[in-house]
Amino acid sequence: MSNRKLGPSKTGTSHWWHQRLTAVALIPLIIFLVGLLPSMAGASYREFTELMQIPITPIALILLIGTGLYHMKLGVQVVIEDYVHNEPLKVGLQIALLLGTVFLAVAGIVSIIMLAA
């Protein structure tokens, strides 16, 4: 099987599909968040934690954080691969991107779990 159509990274097709799938997955999650925002505006901490007790709320927010951050990572990774030509800098930026994405995901998910508990 020939890899000629995949480009230099040899993973172009799967990366492209992941970017598109996460974009499509974000549509209903963003709509859910936009629908949730009016009920959160002006809510007290107690009211907000009651809203987080409804199981769909923390689940949707965790999916939004995970999907959104993965989508962001894919996009920034393409920019780094395409426009950073210094190899050590490119590797360093990709490591920083991965660590930053994981940190934000863990912080967001732990925060939601703490609010929902």
What is the structure's pLDDT at 1?
A: 45
pLDDT bin (cut points 50, 70, 90) of residue 11 is low
56 touches 110 (CB < 8 A): no
Return the CATH fold of 11-116. 3 helical TM bundles of succinate and fumarate reductases (1.20.1300)
Greatest alpha-carbon span in the chain: 60
Overall average pLDDT of the 86-91 stretch: 97
77 touches 49 (CB < 8 A): no
Distance from C-alpha of 104 to C-alpha of 102, rounded to nearest angstrom: 6
pTM of the model: 0.86
Supply the DSSP string of 2-67, one letter for each residue.
--GGG-TTS-HHHHHHHHHHHHHHHHHHHHHHHHHHHHHTT--HHHHHHHHTSTHHHHHHHHHHHH
Where do the structural domains in the chain lie, given as residue ranges? 11-116
Which amino acid would we find at residue 102?
Answer: V
| Mean per-residue pLDDT of the chain | 92
Q: Which residues contact 39 (CB under 8 A, 6 or more apart)?
A: 51
